[in-house]
Amino acid sequence: MSGTWTEEQIAGHPCHLYEPPERNSRNYVAMYLHGVHLRRLEEMPAFTAALDRHGLPAVCPVTQRSWWADKVCPEFDEHITAERHVLDNVMPFAKERYGAEPPQIALLGTSMGGQGALRLALKHYETFPIVAAISPAIDFHHRWDEGDEVLPTMFRDKEDARQETAILYAGPFNRVRHLFFCCDPEDERCFDGADRLSMKLGSMGIPYECDLETSAGGHGPEYYSNMADKAIDFLANALDRERLRIV
């Protein structure tokens, strides 16, 4: 028995929704942030299989090549940023549709969405205490030197873009309670940023889990799919731990 993918509009923007064959009884939800190529989660069956095992619905907003930043991206919307869309529109939708509100919502992202998930969680750690990032493109500001066509529509210059990177939000007071990220050591574009984040979190004594050793195709859907079980299992276990946490 397989789950169902549908698409709805949230505040005028598409959002892909996954309903597993049997939904969990705790109102847990995974929110997936896509990469720069806008690849849909349903195109990677390993993720839907993992979601099914835990009965997790998935809410997958689409924000174009916005880098999930708190900067207006005209390609996405002329007025609201991708970050505010998630906070102001998608989160209320998740509550209305699934009865889910923090800490029942876990963030998952790949590549552009991986860095976006990390940055959102580090910046809004009480709203997003659970995050798993696969191949996070933390150093996306380097794309400025490669002639990226979108970044100049969002940022003044390369340094302005760097100020929005996830690693700059990692600090002793930005403590995400459940944080996992992974990156293929053969991923030439993203590995250094993930390795540097690991060192920074470790030096500050911030708990986290990571896998920077598994290699499965470098950067792309082959690696994402290979890490799907590990990432989704991490989210599901963290959701249970949050439920039992004594405040």
Question: For 114-168, how does the pLDDT look when each residue is reduced to its tens digit (9 = 90+)?
Answer: 999 999 999 999 999 999 999 999 999 999 999 999 999 999 999 999 999 999 9
Output the pLDDT for position 246.
57
Q: 108 — alpha (psi -120 to 50), left (phi > 0) or beta?
A: beta
Q: What is the CATH number of domain 4-244?
A: 3.40.50.1820
Give the tens place of pLDDT for each residue, 204-234.
988 999 999 999 999 999 999 999 999 999 9
Q: Which residue has the tokens 């529109």?
A: 89
The residue type of 136 is P
3 state SS of 106:
strand
Exposure of 237 in the CB half-sphere (CA atoms within 13 A): 11
Q: Are 165 and 71 in contact (CB under 8 A)?
A: no
> In terms of Cα–Cα distance, which of 15, 22, 93 is closest to 51?
22
Give the tens place of pLDDT for each residue, 32-58.
999 999 999 999 999 999 999 999 999
Query: Confidence band (pLDDT; 50, 70, 90) for 244?
Result: confident
Q: Could you give the C-alpha distances from 115 to 7, 10, 55, 110, 165, in angstroms and in order?
A: 24, 22, 25, 8, 8
Mean pLDDT, residues 174-184: 93
Task: Tell me the whole-structure pTM to 2 decimals.
Answer: 0.97
Ranges assigned E (strand) in the chain: 4-10, 13-19, 29-33, 58-61, 105-110, 130-134, 178-182, 209-211
> Could you tell me which residues come within 8 angstroms of residue 147 by beta carbon, excluding any fewer than 6 positions away?
none
What is the strand order of the sheet 29-33 is part of? 4-10, 13-19, 58-61, 29-33, 105-110, 130-134, 178-182, 209-211
Residue 247 has pLDDT above 70, yes or no: no
